Amino acid sequence: MRSVDRRVDRALHERPPVKRTQDLRGKVVVITGASSGLGRAAALEFARRGSKVVLAARREDDLEEVARLCREAGGDALVVPTDVTDEQAVRALAEHALSLTGRIDVWVNNAGVTAFGRLDEGSFDVHRRVIETNVFGAMYGARAVLPVFERQHAGVLIDVSSVLGRVGQPYVPSYVVSKFAIRGLSETLRTALADEPGIHVCTLLPYAFDSAHFESGANRVGLDPHAMPPMQSPEKVARALVSLAVRPRRQLHVPRYAALGIALHALMPETVERAILHLVREWHFGHERQPRTRGNLYEAPDQKGAMHGHRPARTSLPGMLAWAAGHFAKQLVSPSARRASLRPHAAT
């Protein structure tokens, strides 16, 4: 017993004290998907805190613009063009990050793509690519950074999942599967690192926010996708993400009240799932014809990277709830209304 006690004491003395909060000044932060949307907003938020941000995405010119903005905001920035579906490229990203100070303090698995369309329609290749980018990319990131964290006995890994990693949605099936998988990745890493109190694995679960995600995704529906209200700003979600680096927590919903919807689904799953189907069918797509494309799945988008998108939600949250109340009241009165199409209206 004494030898065991000595080994435990020695291990505790060899490791730095665990900090539950940390100052981000000078910390090395790697962000994948940093050229637009949440990744871009998070990079600027970390830079305002004085961090050294390592920016990864496919388009170098967009990353250079983000790097310039980060330096103007008070941080330092390193651009590393990276396709997260390439494991060697992700390992090289980690090596570039280590070249700054010899350590990595925070790694954000944010890169993600989507495909709009039902699972049983169109080529399966688009769904495979979503999984390769969102899931394999996050796994490659974890494989690259965890050995660094273990050498340091410290580090914060932030996996960006989604509210759709807790509740399904019929028109982005592979995206939903990927976000559930990212939650699973976080959970399994927490168990693997249970004896490393200085290493934290955090899962961010945002609801829809204003980004080009709805414009650049692969489209098999032929209509224009829009966020479901209430649409958040990427800056708000970025502040929540950075708060996990300052004070690590297992998971964080943004907005926090999204957890209430998830709890409601647990209590009344069939009712909530039916509501989701009808609401998404009515409000997720507009009436403008769109080409059926592979979007940004295989190549970076032609348009310049930006923090915000150009498609607002089609209604407000009160408007959507009022529609839902009337819609389901009508269905209770008229059984024939229940036989409405389960697909969004086809573009003509």
Q: Over its length of 348 residues, how does the chain's per-residue pLDDT go in tens digits?
A: 444 344 434 443 445 544 556 799 999 999 999 999 999 999 999 999 999 999 999 999 999 999 999 999 999 999 999 999 999 999 999 999 999 999 999 999 999 999 999 999 889 999 999 999 999 999 999 999 999 999 999 999 999 999 999 999 999 999 999 999 999 999 999 999 999 999 999 999 999 998 888 888 999 999 999 988 889 999 999 999 999 999 999 999 999 999 999 999 999 999 999 999 999 999 899 988 988 899 899 988 666 667 887 888 888 888 888 888 888 777 776 655 555 544 555 443
Task: Using CB atoms within 10 Å of the CB of residue 326, give its burial: 0 to 12 exposed, 13 to 18 middle, 19+ buried.
Answer: exposed
Cβ partners under 8 Å of residue 233, min gap 6:
209, 210, 308
If one counts every other C-beta atom within 10 angstroms of the C-beta of residue 180, the result is 18
The answer to whether the CB of 209 falls within 8 A of the CB of 237 is: yes
Q: Which is catalytic among the residues 140, 171, 175, 207?
A: 175
Please say if 175 is a catalytic residue. Answer: yes
Task: Using CB atoms within 10 Å of the CB of residue 336, give its burial: 0 to 12 exposed, 13 to 18 middle, 19+ buried.
Answer: exposed
How far apart (Å, rounded) are the C-alpha atoms in residues 327 and 260?
A: 22
The answer to whether the CB of 53 falls within 8 A of the CB of 78 is: yes
Q: Taking the model in full, what pTM does it have?
A: 0.89
SS (H, E, C) 280-323: HHHHCEEEEECCCECCCCCCCCCCCCCCCCCCCCCCCHHHHHHH
If one counts every other C-beta atom within 10 angstroms of the C-beta of residue 25, the result is 11
The answer to whether the CB of 49 falls within 8 A of the CB of 25 is: yes
